[in-house]
């Protein structure tokens, strides 16, 4: 199944089962944020599509946004935990072992930017899942990590879902 077919399938499921949308979005955001899983789940395109579906179908934005925030923050928390507990061994585990450059870039980005890097990293594709892993491997204190994690998840969820949700609504009204 290609990316477009997967996005279409998920979007159609959401359209048919709106009550599950916050859970589906939460799982997609979680998968997009977990270091070892994010390479396999093309969640960004699907989340943007669901955002458009929110606006076009009148789904309630805030529960779906909450699902995205919780999923993304928990995914980064798991990545941080993996880095914290497995340090350098994580680089030898698939799929990181097949993409060593990703982890190296995440580590370099974290080393350069620190706390701000955890926040900013969420907004850049492959860094999204590797920066929390690097933060854990560098034993960044948990409280500052979680502050950057949750605050960036709130903004990221709005950026993923908001344009479609509010843009489609605006287009319908004008």
* Residue 75: predicted pLDDT: 94
Of 48, 39, 50, 40, nearest to 10 by C-alpha is: 50
Could you report the per-residue pLDDT of 89-147, keeping only the tens digit for each?
776 775 666 766 766 777 777 778 888 989 998 898 777 878 898 899 888 899 999 99
- In the structure encoding, which two tokens stand for residue 167, read together? 């843009």
With a cut of 60, say whether residue 174 has pLDDT above it.
Answer: no
Mean pLDDT of 73-100: 81
Say whether pLDDT at 170 is over 60.
Answer: no
* Residue 166, pLDDT score: 82
State residue 88's pLDDT score.
73
The whole-number pLDDT of residue 7 equals: 67
State pLDDT tens for residues 8-55: 787 788 778 889 999 999 999 998 888 766 666 778 888 888 888 887
* Kind and range of the H or E run holding 146: helix 142-173
Give residue-wise pLDDT tens across range 135-163: 998 888 999 999 999 999 999 999 999 98
List of E strands, the chain: none
What pLDDT is recorded for position 50?
Answer: 86
> What pLDDT is recorded for position 131?
86
Residue 8's pLDDT is what?
76
The count of other CB atoms within 10 Å of the CB of residue 128 is 25
Give the Cα separation of 56 and 164 in Å (integer). 8
């Amino acid at each position: 199944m290609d990316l477009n077919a997967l996005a279409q399938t998920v979007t159609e499921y959401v359209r048919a089962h709106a009550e599950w949308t916050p859970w589906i979005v939460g799982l997609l955001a979680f998968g997009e944020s977990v270091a070892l899983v994010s390479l396999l789940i093309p969640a960004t395109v699907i989340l943007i599509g669901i955002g458009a579906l929110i606006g076009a179908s009148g789904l309630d934005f805030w529960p779906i946004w909450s699902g995205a925030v919780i999923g993304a923050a928990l995914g980064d928390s798991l990545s941080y935990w993996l880095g914290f507990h497995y340090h350098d061994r994580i680089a030898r585990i698939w799929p990181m072992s097949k993409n060593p450059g990703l982890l190296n870039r995440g580590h370099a980005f974290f080393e350069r930017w620190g706390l701000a890097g955890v926040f900013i990293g969420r907004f850049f594709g492959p860094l999204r899942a590797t920066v929390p892993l690097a933060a854990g491997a560098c034993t960044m204190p948990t409280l500052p990590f979680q502050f950057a994690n949750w605050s960036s998840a709130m903004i990221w969820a709005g950026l993923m879902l908001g344009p479609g949700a509010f843009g489609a609504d605006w287009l319908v009204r004008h």
